[in-house]
Structure 1
Amino acid sequence: MAVETEAAASQLKALSETNINWERLDKTRFHINGAILFTAQSALLHPTAVVKTRMQVAGADLAHMRGFSVFRNILRNDGISGIFRGFGTSAIGSMPGRVLALTSLEVSKEMMLKSMEGSDMLEATRIAMANGVAGMVSNLVSCAYFVPLDVICQRLMVQGLPGITLYSGPFDVIRKVLRTEGFRGLYRGFGITVVTQSPASALWWGAYGAAQHSIWRSLGYGDDAEKKPSHLEMVTVQATAGTIAGACSSVLTTPIDTIKTRLQVMDNFGAGRPSVIKTTKMLLKEDGWRGFYRGFGPRFLNMSLWGTSMIVTYELIKRLSVKNE
């Protein structure tokens, strides 16, 4: 038992050598690198977000098409610019939000780890809990910024669909929303976003931590005190764990995401303000329970790819931002 405990402790020490905490980071380089690399990542995944959003908002004819068919339909009708609608607004507008999200994630994780230093829980459990709490805090802090941006971007993504208001650009979206709905219109779906995405963020980071720990154990690092992971192994394990976390999260959160997306972009609610209940009833009437999984294929692909690329990009940003010693 003592040998196993010593081996596990040695293994965790080896893995911790690759962990870069908030104090070791050059904050300026961290935020600049983060803005550049996460924008590049967003560019690669943006087409899947456009397809997903269109499928969630469109009528039954488009909603029942396969994701790739919707992608080809957008290309045929709108060209390359169609699959990148809203990207410019998202890329430029997201930069301050990314600084907010990255800072709150790292600071809250560091605080949680320090607060649990004297506890008797296993190191892997302590790290998983700290990551989960940090993910939730980061999402709560950044929602106030990202929800209005999400409303603007999604309205630009669905241009051309029947019954959707036409906009000439992001500022036209803001102007028309403020005129017809007031400031509250920019925060459509804020409540459901906070209530669902914060636990979902904690779930993602928790699943990532659990998956990564399980993979390391399956590779023998839990029992081999001398064995240390190579750089390639670290990237591979992080990417695999990120894919698993993204896939799990997409299965559980797609119904809520469909309701939120329709709530943010649809205009034809009749009398009264749009609400979660009205949106849910409309979706049930149109397509039954299967309607809650509209756009599941593109979203599953988006979140799986996002999970993989995000965590690899995130770890790369941290390695590039270590202070010169």
Structure 2
Amino acid sequence: MNASSPSGAQSFGQTEINWDKLDKTRYYVVGAGLFTGVTVALYPISVIKTRLQVASKDVVEKNALSVIKGILRTDDIPGLYRGFGTVITGAIPARIIFLTSLETTKVAAFKMIEQFNFSEPTQAAIANGIAGMTSSLLSQAVFVPLDVVSQKLMVQGYSGYTKYNGGLDVARKVLKSDGIRGLYRGFGLSVMTKCPSSAVWWASYGSSQRFIWRLLGYDSGQKENVPSQSTIVLVQASGGIVAGAVASCITTPLDTIKTRLQVMENGKRETARQVIKSLIVEDGWKCLYRGLGPRFVSMSAWGTSMILAYEYLKRLCVRD
């Protein structure tokens, strides 16, 4: 089912699963389990991406494969899940905030722009973009401290970074050294990265789906020509890949700077400008795109898996 907008659902003669049609209790309970499973499967990609972004110039591991080999050599499989406990603990409330605001904002945005008579892909891009940015902004209060703690765990002992005894040890040392603001290091950049990234991702996802449907011969007037379930899933997956490609290319430099700030040793006081200068001195402007490959894979894999799980979740939780 194309659950991105009311108009998209009507194109196939199906009922849109809007926020008011969902069983909220089942939505949150089943969603927590479903997204936890996806996180388990894809978490190692985030670890690899983070390692590449913080690697110093003299580190031998210059690509994803060498990072994987290095982690497996020193820590075996558990090394690919450093910081996982912290992430999964905080991910559930963060996801609840994100998905609730996403659905409610999307409905409001569609109503707001109906009067402008935009084309269906444009409506989808605007409404999904507004919803993605708003939900990302609201969830950053939970996501940023998780990022700071989990990323310090991901790089501990790597290229000279401090070792910790779990997430609580990280939080304790950060609070002792920098206070509460230490847990929100890079918050501004995180908002500047995640909010536009979320807006671009959801806008690209919504509009690319409609473009693909048109290429396949479906339009808003074909209510009798209903696509098969496999076709719907394939189109949603393709939309997720396109969205991941667009968002990763646009926001990787900001993500690299944010990651460098967040994994900085406790007590250090570097600004984003100083981080940019040191990155450029290290390896030129291309240094800002370190980890682009894993980030593209990460955003595409996470985005596609999450959106397919999300659309499936909505179908499971629709009220009779």
| TM-score, normalised relative to structure 2 | 0.92
* Mapped partners of 1:286, 1:104: distance in 2: 41
Aligned to 1:4: none
Structure 1 residues 269, 176: closer, same or farther in 2, change over 3 A?
A: closer
Structure 1 residues 63, 258: closer, same or farther in 2, change over 3 A?
A: farther
Runs of 4+ with deviation above 4 angstroms: 9-12
Aligned to 2:298: 302
* Mapped partners of 1:136, 1:148: distance in 2: 19
Is the CA contact 2:178–2:266 (under 8 Å) kept in the aligned structure 1? no
Is the CA contact 2:185–2:261 (under 8 Å) kept in the aligned structure 1? yes
* Mapped partners of 1:251, 1:274: distance in 2: 25
Cα displacement (A) at 1:79: 0.7
Counterpart selection for 1:262 from 256, 260, 263: 260
Is the CA contact 1:263–1:279 (under 8 Å) kept in the aligned structure 2? yes
Say whether residues 1:107 and 2:109 are aligned partners. no
* Mapped partners of 1:266, 1:55: distance in 2: 15
Is the CA contact 2:105–2:131 (under 8 Å) kept in the aligned structure 1? yes
* Mapped partners of 2:101, 2:7: distance in 1: 30
Cα displacement (A) at 1:45: 1.1
Letter in 1 for 2:152: R
Structure 1 residues 63, 301: closer, same or farther in 2, change over 3 A?
A: farther
Cα displacement (A) at 1:268: 8.2
Letter in 1 for 2:33: I
Letter in 2 for 1:238: Q
* Mapped partners of 1:56, 1:16: distance in 2: 46
Aligned to 1:154: 151
Aligned length: 314
Letter in 2 for 1:130: A
* Mapped partners of 2:113, 2:88: distance in 1: 37
Structure 1 residues 70, 24: closer, same or farther in 2, change over 3 A?
A: same
* Mapped partners of 2:86, 2:15: distance in 1: 35
Matches within 5 A, 1:162-173: 162-173=159-170
Structure 1 residues 268, 260: closer, same or farther in 2, change over 3 A?
A: same
Report the structure number with the largest CA radius of gyration: 1
Is the CA contact 2:177–2:266 (under 8 Å) kept in the aligned structure 1? no
Say whether residues 1:287 and 2:289 are aligned partners. no
Is the CA contact 1:63–1:294 (under 8 Å) kept in the aligned structure 2? no
Counterpart selection for 1:91 from 75, 88, 103: 88
Say whether residues 1:241 and 2:239 are aligned partners. yes
Say whether residues 1:13 and 2:15 are aligned partners. no
| Amino-acid identity (%) | 52
Counterpart selection for 1:65 from 62, 65, 69: 62
Aligned to 1:278: 274
Cα displacement (A) at 1:18: 5.3
Counterpart selection for 2:139 from 134, 137, 142: 142
User: SS where residue 12 of structure 2 aligns?
Assistant: helix
Unaligned runs of 5+ in 1: 1-8
User: SS where residue 116 of structure 1 aligns?
Assistant: helix
Cα displacement (A) at 1:113: 2.0
Is the CA contact 2:144–2:187 (under 8 Å) kept in the aligned structure 1? yes
Structure 1 residues 223, 144: closer, same or farther in 2, change over 3 A?
A: closer
Unaligned runs of 5+ in 2: 1-5
Structure 1 residues 63, 16: closer, same or farther in 2, change over 3 A?
A: farther
* Mapped partners of 1:183, 1:21: distance in 2: 38
Is the CA contact 1:49–1:302 (under 8 Å) kept in the aligned structure 2? yes
* Greater mean alpha carbon deviation, residues 58-67 or residues 93-102: 58-67
| TM-score, normalised relative to structure 1 | 0.91
Is the CA contact 2:45–2:294 (under 8 Å) kept in the aligned structure 1? yes
Structure 1 residues 184, 125: closer, same or farther in 2, change over 3 A?
A: same
Structure 1 residues 279, 142: closer, same or farther in 2, change over 3 A?
A: same
